[in-house]
Chain A
C-alpha cells in the first residue's frame, strides 16, 4: 500500500491547510472586532467559500497572515499564532489570549484528504466560531472603544505564552488528523485580568510620568515584527483621539490644580485655556483650597521675591496704582474663585490691618499686571468675562437667599462685597493697595503675560461675599470666617525678606575672616576632639 500521498492529494492537503490557517485568523480577528458578525447562508455554492462556511475575508488581516506565514505552512515546530491583546488609551497593554494552530507528528494515513479532512476542517472552523465567543476576551472586545482597544498580532514559529500571566487557561478547540500530521487548534487565555487594573493605578499616579512599557518585552528567540499589534477594529481613529484628548485635558486640569498654592496664578491659568473650560464649574471647583494654603500662598510669593531683585525697585513705584484698581484673584474657600479687591475695606478695621501684609502678593499681582500691561485699562475679553460671569455665579453658590446678597443689608460683614455688576469700581475703597516692598514672582509674571495675551487686563472686579464653608452665622465674635480673614495675611518672615537676607549674607561674608582666625587658634582643641572620636 502506498503510504505516500498522491501528488494531487498532497497538493490539496497543502491548500486546505493554508486556507484553513487564513480562515482561522479571519475568524479570530473578526470575533474581536467588537461587533456582531452576520453572514448569509447560500444554497448555491460560490467558489470562494472555503470549507462551506461564509467567512468574510478582511484584506488587511489576510495580508498580515500571509506576511507572517511567508509562504510556509504550519508544521511540526512551526505554529501559527494569533495573539490578542488589549491596549488602554493611556498606552498600557496586556496580552489576553493566544490562539495556536499547530501540527504534530501523529499521522492518519488512511484518511481521505479531499473529503474527510475537508469536512473535519470545516467542523473545526465552526467550533472555532463557537469558542471565540466563550473566552473572556470576547466580552472585553465587545466593550472596546474609548477606554481601550483590542489588538491582534500574527506570528509564526514557537508559541509564546509568557505574556498571559499566571494561571492562564487553555481550551482545545479541536484536532483533525491528516496523512502528514494532526492539526491542533487551541487557545490559551489569561485569567488574571485584575492585574491590569493594578497597573493602571500605578501608571496614573505620576502626572507627567514616563510610561515604561515593560509588558511588551520581545520574547527571546522570536523576532517580533516592527508593528507590534494591529487594532481589531476598523473605525476611524477618532476614538483614540478622543481618548487622548481627554487625557490631555486631564493633564491640563491637573496642571491647573497643581497651582493651587498660588491662587492668582491659578486663576490666570484658567484664563488661558479655552473658554469652554471656564464655563464648566468643575475645573474651577478643583481650585478649592483649604484654609492652610492661604499661608502657603504668601510664603510662595515671598520666596519667589528673592529671584527678582531688579523688579523690587520698580515695584515700589507701581504699588500704588490709585487710579488703577487692579484685581487680585484670590481663591476662596467656597470651592471657586473669589475675586477680592486688592485693597483694604474702609468699613472693616480687621481687613485694613490685614491687607498691608497681604500686599506682597497683591501688589505683586498688580505689578505683574502692570508690568505686562503697563497699567492700561483693557476691556475684558471673552474668557475674563466668562470668568467674571462665573464668579458671579459663585456668589449664587453662597448659602444665603439672594436678598441678603444685596448691599442694602449692612448688618453682615462684607455686605459691600455683595456681587455687583461689571462696572468699573473707581471709587471703591478697596481699590487702594497699601504700600510695601513687593515684586512679582516670576511665576506670576510669566503667567500674567500669558493671561494678558489672551485675555488682556481687567480694571473691574467683582466682589463676592466671603463666606467660608461650613461656618455658622456671623453672630459670634470670632467665627471661622473672621479667623481666616485675620490670619490669612501674616507678616512676612524676616528671613525671607530680601534686604534682610542680603544683609545677613553680607554680614556673613564680613565675619568670615574673624571666624577663620578663631578656628585656627583653637585648632588643637579640634584635633583632640577628632582623635577622641577615632
Chain B
C-alpha cells in the first residue's frame, strides 16, 4: 500500500518551537489513539476510554486538546525537546523538520528482522525566526496561533478522509499495529524522527536520531 504523506509548515520564534510541535503532534496522536484493547474469548474485544484535556500555550495564543495520558505526553515532550535543542545548536538559521510516522510491523522469519512499513507520515517543517522587539513578538504570538489553528484544520481534514487504516488486529497481532506499552491509551505504532537543515538547505548534519517507540530491542 502507499504511504500517505502530509507536510505541515510553520514559522515560529525559538521559544515557540516546543509548544507548536506539541500542539500539532498531540492533535495528530489524539486522532490516532484508541482506548486499551481488552480481548475476550471468542475473538471479541472491548476498548477502553480515552480522556482528553485542554492545554493552553504560554508563548502562543493557542489552545489544543491532547489525550489524557501523562506517559504519552512525557514521550512526546522528550522528543520535541531534543528536536528543539538540535535546532538551537544548529546555527542561527534554524530550519528543521520533525516527522511523526505511523507504521505497521510485519513479522519476518528469522534471521530477518521485522519490517516496519509506514502507512502515514506527518512531516512538520519548522522555520525559526528571530524577532527584534516586543511588539513584533506580540504579533507573532497571535499570528502563530492562527497558523496553528489552520494546521489543525488541515490535520482534521486529512484524517477525516478516512483513507487507509490498518485492520483491527487479533490479540496476537496487536503489537504489530498498536503501541501497547502505555497504561491508559493505545496509539498506533509510531516513531518520531527529526532532521536539521543548515543554511544551505541540505541536510548536512546527518544526526538522525531515532526515537523508536516500538519494541526496538529484539
A41-B35, A52-B34, A123-B159 given; A133·B49 CB < 8 A: no
Asked whether, in the complex, the Cβ of B152 is within 8 Å of the Cβ of A130, the reply is: yes
B46 within 8 Å of A (CB atoms): yes
A350 within 8 Å of B (CB atoms): no
List, sorted by A's number, 5 A–B pairs whose CB atoms are closer than 8 Å. Answer: A41-B184, A43-B48, A45-B35, A129-B30, A171-B153
Q: In the bound complex, what is the Cα–Cα distance between A142 and B145 (angstroms)?
A: 15
B160 within 8 Å of A (CB atoms): yes
Asked whether, in the complex, the Cβ of B50 is within 8 Å of the Cβ of A52, the reply is: yes
Asked whether, in the complex, the Cβ of B65 is within 8 Å of the Cβ of A130, the reply is: yes
Asked whether, in the complex, the Cβ of B65 is within 8 Å of the Cβ of A44, the reply is: no
Q: In the bound complex, what is the Cα–Cα distance between A129 and B47 (angstroms)?
A: 20
Identity of the chain A residue whose Cβ is nearest the Cβ of B183 in the assembled complex: A43
Asked whether, in the complex, the Cβ of B149 is within 8 Å of the Cβ of A53, the reply is: no
B162 within 8 Å of A (CB atoms): yes
B106 within 8 Å of A (CB atoms): no
Instruction: Tell me the chain A residues, 126-179 only, with Cβ under 8 Å from chain B.
Output: 126-127, 129-131, 133-134, 138-139, 142, 171-177
Q: Which size bracket describes the interface of B in this complex?
A: 35 or more
State how many angstroms separate the Cβ of B18 from the closest Cβ of chain A: 18
Asked whether, in the complex, the Cβ of B64 is within 8 Å of the Cβ of A130, the reply is: yes
Asked whether, in the complex, the Cβ of A44 is within 8 Å of the Cβ of B160, the reply is: no
Asked whether, in the complex, the Cβ of B50 is within 8 Å of the Cβ of A173, the reply is: no
Most chain A beta carbons < 10 A, residue from B38, B49, B56: B49
Chain A, residues 28-70, CB within 8 Å of chain B (1/0): the string is: 0000000011111111111001001110000000000000000
Asked whether, in the complex, the Cβ of A38 is within 8 Å of the Cβ of B54, the reply is: yes
Asked whether, in the complex, the Cβ of A133 is within 8 Å of the Cβ of B64, the reply is: yes
Identity of the chain A residue whose Cβ is nearest the Cβ of B156 in the assembled complex: A127
**Majority secondary structure, A binding face:** mixed
**Option from A52, A115, A130, A177 in Cβ contact (under 8 Å) with B30:** A130
A41-B185, A124-B160 given; A138·B63 CB < 8 A: yes
B53 within 8 Å of A (CB atoms): yes
**Option from B34, B53, B159, B168 in Cβ contact (under 8 Å) with A36:** B53
B36 within 8 Å of A (CB atoms): yes
A45-B35, A134-B153, A138-B63 given; A127·B51 CB < 8 A: no
A120 within 8 Å of B (CB atoms): yes
Asked whether, in the complex, the Cβ of A39 is within 8 Å of the Cβ of B156, the reply is: no
Complex interface: chain A residues within 8 A of B149 (CB): 134
Complex interface: chain B residues within 8 A of A53 (CB): 49-50, 52
B68 within 8 Å of A (CB atoms): yes
B198 within 8 Å of A (CB atoms): no
Q: In the bound complex, what is the Cα–Cα distance between A345 and B201 (angstroms)?
A: 90
A133-B65, A134-B149 given; A45·B47 CB < 8 A: yes
Most chain B beta carbons < 10 A, residue from A42, A53, A131: A42
A127-B159, A131-B152, A173-B160 given; A37·B38 CB < 8 A: no
Asked whether, in the complex, the Cβ of B160 is within 8 Å of the Cβ of A41, the reply is: no
B interface with A by C-beta (< 8 Å): 27, 30-31, 34-36, 38, 46-54, 56, 61, 63-65, 67-69, 149, 152-153, 155-157, 159-160, 162, 168, 183-185
Asked whether, in the complex, the Cβ of A127 is within 8 Å of the Cβ of B160, the reply is: yes
A40-B68, A41-B185 given; A131·B48 CB < 8 A: no
**Option from A38, A43, A127, A172 in Cβ contact (under 8 Å) with B184:** A43
Chain A, residues 458-485, CB within 8 Å of chain B (1/0): the string is: 0000000000000000000000000000
Complex interface: chain A residues within 8 A of B31 (CB): 123, 126-127, 130
Identity of the chain A residue whose Cβ is nearest the Cβ of B157 in the assembled complex: A172
Asked whether, in the complex, the Cβ of B49 is within 8 Å of the Cβ of A49, the reply is: yes
Asked whether, in the complex, the Cβ of B152 is within 8 Å of the Cβ of A134, the reply is: yes
**Option from B38, B69, B162 in Cβ contact (under 8 Å) with A120:** B162
State how many angstroms separate the Cβ of B71 from the closest Cβ of chain A: 10
Complex interface: chain B residues within 8 A of A139 (CB): 61
Q: In the bound complex, what is the Cα–Cα distance between A176 and B161 (angstroms)?
A: 9
Complex interface: chain B residues within 8 A of A174 (CB): 156-157, 159-160
Q: In the bound complex, what is the Cα–Cα distance between A51 and B46 (angstroms)?
A: 12
State how many angstroms separate the Cβ of A173 from the closest Cβ of chain B: 7
Asked whether, in the complex, the Cβ of B49 is within 8 Å of the Cβ of A131, the reply is: no
Q: In the bound complex, what is the Cα–Cα distance between A124 and B184 (angstroms)?
A: 21
Asked whether, in the complex, the Cβ of B51 is within 8 Å of the Cβ of A36, the reply is: no
Complex interface: chain B residues within 8 A of A39 (CB): 51-53, 68
Complex interface: chain A residues within 8 A of B162 (CB): 120, 123, 176-177
Q: In the bound complex, what is the Cα–Cα distance between A187 and B29 (angstroms)?
A: 23
Complex interface: chain B residues within 8 A of A127 (CB): 31, 156, 159-160
**Option from B30, B34, B50 in Cβ contact (under 8 Å) with A54:** B50
State how many angstroms separate the Cβ of A15 from the closest Cβ of chain B: 17
Asked whether, in the complex, the Cβ of B153 is within 8 Å of the Cβ of A131, the reply is: yes
Identity of the chain A residue whose Cβ is nearest the Cβ of B45 in the assembled complex: A45
State how many angstroms separate the Cβ of B193 from the closest Cβ of chain A: 24
Complex interface: chain B residues within 8 A of A171 (CB): 153
Q: In the bound complex, what is the Cα–Cα distance between A44 and B53 (angstroms)?
A: 19
